[in-house]
């Protein structure tokens, strides 16, 4: 079961990784919300943030933290984000909040990815949490059929439209023994915008509550 106290501790502990003058990449979700609150306390020490979602942007704006576009910010030193699952190699499933594409872009642009989770997210094998895939709407059925060929059970997250105007398919039933290969394979399919597997670019640091693993 998810643990709000551990999420808060992790969000607060991530502040230790923020350097003076930084532009901080900011993820999305309830754990990140604690991080943004803590970031507000030191907002005079940073230049601002690059946000991965409209949800995080709204919170950053409300707390008076300047939000910059990634194009204006350039390479980032730090990205802080949550996850839905994390394996012992710091490979992740993300996208429960449907923000996976922008999250993946910012993670790729950042020198250090600090992942903040509670202990319920730690797994030995990825895949119990259904794997989110963002798709171009016209490719939904095509991708569903491809996923079935690969042994997964696709479920359309009906009614959800991402910040990019796309749809989400959640794939159930995969035990992901080789996440790097699966991520690469899925990335080849036309119509997939991003896969919620963060294995080719895993986290660099994982904070479970205030404990670094
Ligand atoms: C959003 C995400 C989140 O990081 C993930 O869903 C974890 O969320 P929370 O911190 O609320 O448990 O990937 O797309």
| CATH class, 131-196 region | alpha beta
Ligand 1 in reach of 84 Cβ (< 6 A): yes
How far is the centre of ligand 1, averaged over its atoms, from the C-alpha of 113 (Å)? 15
Dihedral sign for Cα 50, 51, 57, 60, please: negative
Residue 164 to residue 193: CA distance in whole angstroms: 10
CATH topology of domain 3-121+201-212: Rossmann fold (3.40.50)
How far is the centre of ligand 1, averaged over its atoms, from the C-alpha of 21 (Å)? 26
- Over 80: is that where the pLDDT of 1 sits? no
Please write the tens of the pLDDT for every residue from 20-62.
999 999 999 999 999 999 999 999 999 999 999 999 999 999 9
Ligand 1 in reach of 100 Cβ (< 6 A): yes
Cβ(106)–Cβ(52) below 8 Å: yes
Mean pLDDT, rounded, for 98-117:
98
How far is the centre of ligand 1, averaged over its atoms, from the C-alpha of 123 (Å)? 15
Give the number of residues written for the chain. 213
Please write the tens of the pLDDT for every residue from 57-84.
999 999 999 999 999 999 999 999 999 9
Torsion, Cα of 170, 172, 174, 178 (10° steps)? 20
Ligand 1 in reach of 162 Cβ (< 6 A): no
Q: What is the pLDDT of residue 43?
A: 98
Q: What is the pLDDT of residue 29?
A: 98
Please write the tens of the pLDDT for every residue from 139-182.
999 999 999 999 999 999 999 999 999 999 999 999 999 999 99
Q: Which atom of ligand 1 is nearest to the CA of 100?
A: 14
Please state, rounded to an integer, the average pLDDT across all residues of the chain.
Answer: 98
Q: Which atom of ligand 1 is nearest to the CA of 98?
A: 14
- Where are the domains positioned within the chain? 3-121+201-212, 131-196
Q: What is the pLDDT of residue 2?
A: 78
pTM over 0.95? The answer is: yes
């Amino acid at each position: 079961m998810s643990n709000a106290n551990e999420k808060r501790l992790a969000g607060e502990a991530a502040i230790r990784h923020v350097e003076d003058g930084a532009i901080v990449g900011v993820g999305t979700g309830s754990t990140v919300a604690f991080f943004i609150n803590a970031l507000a306390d030191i907002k005079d020490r940073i230049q601002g943030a690059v946000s991965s979602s409209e949800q995080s942007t709204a919170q950053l704006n409300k707390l008076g933290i300047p939000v910059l576009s990634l194009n204006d910010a350039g390479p980032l030193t730090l990205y802080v984000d949550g996850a839905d699952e994390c394996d012992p190699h710091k490979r992740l499933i993300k996208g429960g909040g449907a923000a996976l594409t922008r999250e993946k872009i910012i993670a790729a642009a950042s020198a250090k990815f600090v992942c903040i989770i509670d202990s319920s997210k730690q797994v030995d094998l990825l895949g119990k949490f259904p794997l989110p895939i963002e798709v171009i709407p016209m490719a939904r059925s095509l991708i569903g059929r491809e996923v079935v060929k690969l042994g997964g059970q696709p479920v359309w997250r009906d009614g959800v439209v991402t910040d990019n105007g796309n749809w989400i398919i959640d794939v159930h039933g995969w035990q992901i023994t080789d996440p790097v290969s699966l991520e690469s394979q899925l990335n080849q399919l036309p119509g997939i915008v991003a896969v919620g597997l963060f294995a080719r670019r895993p986290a660099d640091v994982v904070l479970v509550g205030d404990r670094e693993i």
